[in-house]
Amino acid sequence: MKATPAAAPRPSRSRVRTTSIAAFVVLAALVPTTAAATGTQEVEAELPYVCALPSGQLPATVRVSAEFPERARAGEAFTPSGVTTTVRLPAEAVADLAARDAAEVRAATRLDVGVAQNTATATATWRGTAEPVALPETGPLTLVATGDVPSVAGRGDGDLTFSAGALAIDLALGAAEGAATDAATADPGSLTVDCTLAEDAPERGLLATVPVGTGAPGASGAPSSPDPAGTSGASGAPDDGQPDGTGEPRPEGQSERSPKVLENGGAPDRDDVPPCRYDEQHPPTDVSLNAYITGYANVNKMKGAAYLPPSCVLIEQGLPEPGPPDPDYLIFDTVSYADFHYEERKQTPPFEATFLSFDFAPVKATMVMEQTGPMRIDSRMKIRLSDFTTITDTYVRAPLVLRVLDLEVNGTPLDVGSGCRTRTSLTSKDPDPAHFPGDHLVLYGRGEQTVGLPATGYLLLSGGALSGEMSVPAFTGCGSDGEDLDRLLTASVSGPGNFVKQVQGQTCAIAAPVFPSPENEGQCTEDLQPYEIPVAER
């Protein structure tokens, strides 16, 4: 069965309000029982969007394809499969990217999908990643993103509908050959494009409808059990009156329970992240900051990505110095330094990654990233004199070795010993190698702020996304009792061109609680830890 909504007319260039889509909220934390559907329906919807690019609001076409079950039983979760989001940006958008000296683009998409049943609603985030593509010389740019999406379960009888909503496109740009990339001229860096469903989109972005019922014909699986103790799996909140095993009806006027959206990840609880505070061994100063950072790093050879859990970073913010003269801008340069901080070591917490080595052997590794020298943060702030818009380009340079603590291949533990690590630091192509020689990882972020409006992109104080590309060096010191595992790890992991995206949260300015103001409200917990725990983005 294939459902294809009718094509919609080209959207107008009406101005829309755009926002930076931040971390999604986990609406449930249950392990679902998978519904076995009697059949599937193939859906392909082409929808008009309006996207905010440097040149203004531009029309775009977004095509979403996926497979849904034809029917489902209440309380049983299912996962849309084969989800593909294809974005077609117009030629004007290509010109915007080319103006930043970009020749190639890697894209990641975040599509808000509204899930509704009767009068109850919830929101799921469909995330996808696209292979890098070259910018076309003429015409539009097409990006094809795929990825896993959250499972969903209906609460009771009634159609479960899925509708496309706001879309964010994270673009990591690759420089054109021969483009200037010294410290004074930023490389293309990254850009987040926020898109809104056009007002004339058909059926308000409807993607699919799945009939759900406790005894729906054709629905399979055993009848679902009521939530234990009358609680909802969505958040652990008290039951809101949905009829259950007690036979009690929902109180009049009380809303139905929202469909369960079982996200694959989300903002961790504070109990699940390491402490991030200054102490007697690390006393703060008036310019001390701390923040959490998290993200993903691709491993091309494994055709997957490793997740870096929230890690604490202690930062000493530098003082701004006047930069080179410019007739159109006031320029200030700031150099700050930072250290990872975990159990009195300059490293991340241990993290696990599971891949298929050589496409067939499951490999699970427990690793840490260990800092071997100062982490330097160079920020150049340019204040445009014509409208006082501020543009800040930031480079983070970090010498980090990857240390392997444990390794399993096809379920069999392999003793890697105590000294298994990369020979040198993870490396990136530095835009200014003359001033910054040696092996280190380079991440880049750009932030902009117009007077009277919130900042967008990355700024050291407010955080945001940083991205880059790294090479993983060969491994050394891996193995014990005469067994050499260096070549196995090097063949499986080491190599160039691995995309990295890290998200830094809002910093806690240690001096802020002493001098409270509306600007620093909500930065710190009572014990001076960062209030915000960011969510990783692919």
Q: Dump the DSSP string for 274-337.
A: ------SSS---TTEEEEEEEEEEEEGGGTEEEEEEEEEEEEEPPPPEE----SSEEEEEEEEE
Neighbour count for residue 470 (Cβ, 10 Å): 23
Q: Report pLDDT for 135.
A: 92
Check: CB of residue 301 under 8 Å from CB of residue 319. no
Quick one: tokens of 469?
A: 């590309």
Rama region for 471: left / alpha / beta (φ>0; ψ in -120 to 50; rest): beta
Give how far Cα 475 sits from Cα of 430, 488, 490, 526, Å.
22, 9, 6, 43
C-alpha to C-alpha distance for 125 and 112, rounded to whole angstroms: 5
Cβ atoms 154, 160 nearer than 8 A: yes
What proportion of the chain, given as a percentage, has pLDDT over 70?
A: 76
Residue 520 pLDDT > 80: no
- Determine the Cα–Cα distance for residues 296 and 299; give it in Å rounded to an integer: 10
3-class DSSP state of 94: helix
Length of the chain: 538
Q: Residue 13: pLDDT above 80?
A: no
What is the reported pTM?
0.58
Q: What is the pLDDT of residues 280-326, one digit of tens each?
A: 888 888 899 999 999 888 887 776 778 888 999 999 999 999 999 98
**Residue 107 predicted with pLDDT over 90:** no
Name which of 99-113, 339-353, 359-373, 402-416 the model is least confident about: 359-373
381 or 302: which carries more pLDDT confidence?
A: 381
Buried b (16+ CB within 10 A) or exposed e, 337-368: ebbbbbeeebbbbebebebebeeeeebebebb
Question: Mean of the per-residue pLDDT values for the chain?
Answer: 78
| Residue 380: Cβ-neighbour burial (10 angstroms; 0-12, 13-18, 19+) | buried
What pLDDT score was predicted for residue 313? 95
Query: What residues does each domain of the chain span?
Result: 2-218, 270-453+463-520
Alpha-carbon Rg of the chain, whole angstroms?
A: 25
- Flag whether pLDDT at 358 surpasses 60: no
**CA nearest 351: which of 371, 335, 368?**
368
CA–CA separation, 473 vs 372, rounded Å? 15
Check residues 423 and 352 and name the one with the higher pLDDT. Answer: 423
361 band by pLDDT with thresholds 50, 70 and 90: low
In the prediction, which pLDDT does 339 show?
95
pLDDT class of 512 with cuts at 50, 70, 90: low
Consecutive H or E run containing 96: helix 91-98
Beta strands 400-409; 441-449: pairing state: unpaired
- Distance separating alpha carbons of residues 51 and 64, to the nearest angstrom: 16
* pLDDT score recorded for residue 328: 87
Query: Among 393, 438, 426, 446, which residue's Cα sits nearest to residue 500?
Result: 426
Quick check: 343 pLDDT over 70? yes
* pLDDT tops 90 at residue 336: yes
